[in-house]
Structure 1
């Protein structure tokens, strides 16, 4: 069959029929993508070619192997994803230079040029779905079947991780099971002066995997913008772009270089991650806009597998939504064991929900579980006695104050007030900026003009806030780092009584952290602000060999200062219990 602008793609048709029959459950995002494909089928300007994808399948199944050397037979999901890349074409009118028949001179003629429609494919699919193997089949196809000289790269958060895409190709070269690879690997790599016919045409070298017939190269690159900018890339695979703590949009950098090449393809594959508000979240917001139809971009293919809600984790029939290859590349038993582990080990729960079921939870919850970070209903503590905790350790761009109100039943009311500079706000990535806007709207985050926070401005604003709310502050716990002028002014205006210095470290933090954890488990820390939820969700604690804990403050983007201030307030409260009698 030639190109058709009405045909339904073969493998997509089979998949759609299975979905309609109810054999394959799909999530909301996949059904949105199916609507986009139906639009392509209905679009008279877009053509479907059934031969290109069959060529890719034939190449993969006759030549390639798995990492362990066994024969590769493509999964239905691979055929579905690959058909999106190889199946769709459109025509553009271009001026093309045509030499004269006698070889002297030439002239420009207008021609219709066939172009591949899909340039970018995003695959967000659970762990164990053989994503890297899919990336490897595409790389191998363009390296050995495409006759043009191509530069291909694969990248991942670490160089060793990127090797996962290379190793099946290296195994396939070693085994060379099909006629093409037998021809390409015939000869010797040492033969550099003799006949070219006796040299090997495809080899794994220290550069990467090289095809000497076409001069094509597939190499591993580090995942940073300055290593990926300006490359003329035909094919790029980006692995695990959601899993690591990636702060740069590497896919955008690759695309800018690749756009110099005709018919480039970028495949971004990953399982869902637990690190929030990085560039990955910003990309996911853009993908969601494309799926909803708010932003029309037919050049992007999006396969975003996940469960629709956390209630479906207990229903094995729904797990196919998160991993279409369940039962083929990963067993149901593996999933079952992980579900049981998530129930028994709360620290691993978020990682399992993200990696196995595509449900990203807020931040890492190494310390406070998801349920403990849910806010309570709104409450006011007008004219009530409280302990104030101050964490000014990032005084240049973030100050946190937490008020702790001891309540009669042994629980604690919590209010927090935080300060950042307008400069810090402007530098935030899109996903993080939306988060901060929520905090500003609820009044827990105050933005002060300038590049550096002036401690006196902070003091005056906080003082006004305390008077407006009528809080009766009876003691102050502070982290001494960067707090000198603030505390000196506090002492001169409120007297020296009840001011407690809290030195950071496992020695002072371990016991209060344990007590706060017990209180949060019993839901006796009563906070109603999203900022507190966010800070508690980001809390990671370091534990030494004796089981002593302290807060980890390594990551600047993941603000936990409100929790540190809460701990300071709690320590000051414990040292001044008699003031609250």
Structure 2
């Protein structure tokens, strides 16, 4: 762990203040923390010693009062913590105690809260949302602010509603708050909490609101998942309203991101410098200088030290996960580390979400270690007449056109994380295989450019190469016609490229009668749900969704990692899987990127499309079973 020279300071050895005790333990090395949290703790202790010179003081009684509110008034509402009091862990007590205990002296109003802004960056699952919801409830009910306006702000209405619903659930679990707070909207559809006696309210707000010019006057603004905010719009609108308050608070919580031109990265960099008291502090060099940079910003940025390797050294995990062993356990993180090793395409997302690493480097999508256990030699003729789903990736003149076929073979029990608890769920198993075509007249030239043994694949019948300088879609249509004859084809997932103009007419000539379902490629467009998708979604109690590549890629990844899919060995598919890289958006959605792949990945794309169609349109055997299929069922017994 990186260290820095420590100045001698007077330590409040007799204190019972939990924020200060945490800071002392971190600086002493008794609690393992990352470089920026260590700096935040040094800052706290330095300010206890020297802050009075800048008009600052720390009020332990106020800090204790707010901590007591959390621990005596609030209860948790989900998973293994259902109904339990919200007992603050040491890191949480440091955050709450620091934000509310530190004060600044003002000429007009006397002592007021020092921190108007707080930036919290931690790994996923470390209790950020309950803390934010609790701060909102405290601001509305116990901060002695008349007409307090509390906002849960998100990049979208859905995101803003997540944090707000956490607060609503805490009210539901607290008899005392339940008596004082009035809800607007029915159960599960609340859109406002209010304390009528003080004319205070708490509601979700999203970036769309900035267009209305409604001019909120926030007492507290709680911004969730800052790394997902496309700009400063919502935060700037809320901060402009602070001028009407004497001690407002912008409370920002987030995971790490990848966009270094984003508002989250800007806030991250500022928070790192603030904690270090060093205008030049960076992630890789966070030397603590202790110079006051921004006395109004509280910083708690979890991060690894330079040289830490979370894939090999579990001892560093706690630096990004201060609640390790409480809300998130070693076994779970070991599982995601294994995923990162098996599936390089998941590596960056796992580093960001679980280990507070800002990433931007490309990685391969699939490792051989993940793929090889799923490769098998089987005869697809064994599945004749079975229900099948097809993914079709039509190509340009010099590329590969690929058809992937997926057959559901059964279901298997898999351990999954749901609402903070491990549960056993049923998931489908599949057999899958591909066919591929390439223009025969240009094979030799392209083999030299692409450095692929195309002729060997053709000779071994892994790749079709009909004569011509471009893809012969009539050959592909003929193959599809044979599939509709041999299998019960439920749907063919396709991308729009070349489909309407070139491929659909060939299918019409052959009289192919099958449902074609649009499956856009890339990460921005989503197809429309079919009636079959709607029926399955209703059966499984979820909203129906159309096909899109990030969802299909995730389903394929899960099937491979959980060994729920057999892939018929084909070097065209293996090359595609091993060559693929991914693009990713700021929300962590990722998809296969043809433009940046070293080799042709059309077969992998087609396979993902087929898996997406099968998973969206094939109901669980358990949920799809009819009571009339049970020979022992009768209405009298059911009654």
TM-score by length of 2: 0.51
Question: Are 1:22 and 2:29 matched, yes or no?
Answer: yes
- Partners in 1 of 2:602 and 2:234 — Cα distance? 31
Per the alignment, residue 120 of structure 2 pairs with 123
Deviations 1:289-314 (Å, cap 9, x if unpaired)? 43442281110001000222452442
Return the offset for 1:32. Answer: 2.4
- Using a 3 Å threshold, how does the CA distance of structure 1 residues 547 and 213 change in structure 2: closer, same or farther? same
Return the offset for 1:146. Answer: 2.7
Return the offset for 1:155. Answer: 1.4
Return the offset for 1:248. Answer: 3.8
Return the offset for 1:536. Answer: 4.9
1:57 aligned residue (46, 51, 67)? 67
Question: Are 1:271 and 2:255 matched, yes or no?
Answer: yes
2:51 aligned residue (20, 26, 43)? 43
Unaligned runs of 5+ in 1: 95-111, 186-200, 370-388, 390-404, 412-502, 522-532, 550-581
Return the offset for 1:169. Answer: 3.5
Per the alignment, residue 323 of structure 1 pairs with 321
Deviations 1:534-568 (Å, cap 9, x if unpaired)? x959x9x998873389xxxxxxxxxxxxxxxxxxx
SS of residue in 1 equivalent to 2:64: helix
Return the offset for 1:20. Answer: 4.0
Unaligned runs of 5+ in 2: 1-9, 186-190, 280-291, 368-397, 399-445, 453-495, 504-520, 523-570, 582-592, 610-639
Question: Are 1:232 and 2:217 matched, yes or no?
Answer: yes
- Using a 3 Å threshold, how does the CA distance of structure 1 residues 407 and 250 change in structure 2: closer, same or farther? farther
Return the offset for 1:16. Answer: 2.8
Return the offset for 1:173. Answer: 3.3
Deviations 1:473-498 (Å, cap 9, x if unpaired)? xxxxxxxxxxxxxxxxxxxxxxxxxx
Per the alignment, residue 344 of structure 1 pairs with 342
Contact 2:257 2:352 in 1 (8 A): yes
- Partners in 1 of 2:362 and 2:238 — Cα distance? 29
Return the offset for 1:72. Answer: 2.2
Contact 1:204 1:210 in 2 (8 A): yes
What is the aligned residue count? 377
- Using a 3 Å threshold, how does the CA distance of structure 1 residues 218 and 356 change in structure 2: closer, same or farther? same
- Using a 3 Å threshold, how does the CA distance of structure 1 residues 27 and 504 change in structure 2: closer, same or farther? same
Per the alignment, residue 88 of structure 1 pairs with 102
Contact 1:118 1:299 in 2 (8 A): yes
Contact 1:60 1:137 in 2 (8 A): yes
Deviations 1:442-465 (Å, cap 9, x if unpaired)? xxxxxxxxxxxxxxxxxxxxxxxx
- Partners in 1 of 2:343 and 2:334 — Cα distance? 14
- Partners in 2 of 1:9 and 1:253 — Cα distance? 39
TM-score by length of 1: 0.56
Return the offset for 1:76. Answer: 1.8
Structure 1 stretches of 4+ moved >4 Å: 5-9, 363-369, 405-411, 503-521, 541-545
Contact 1:119 1:266 in 2 (8 A): yes
Contact 2:147 2:200 in 1 (8 A): yes
Contact 1:154 1:237 in 2 (8 A): yes
2:172 aligned residue (168, 171, 174)? 174
- Partners in 2 of 1:224 and 1:282 — Cα distance? 22
Residue correspondence of structure 1 range 188-203 to structure 2 within 5 A: 201-203=180-182
Moved more, 78-87 or 39-48: 39-48
Contact 2:181 2:194 in 1 (8 A): yes
Contact 1:208 1:218 in 2 (8 A): yes
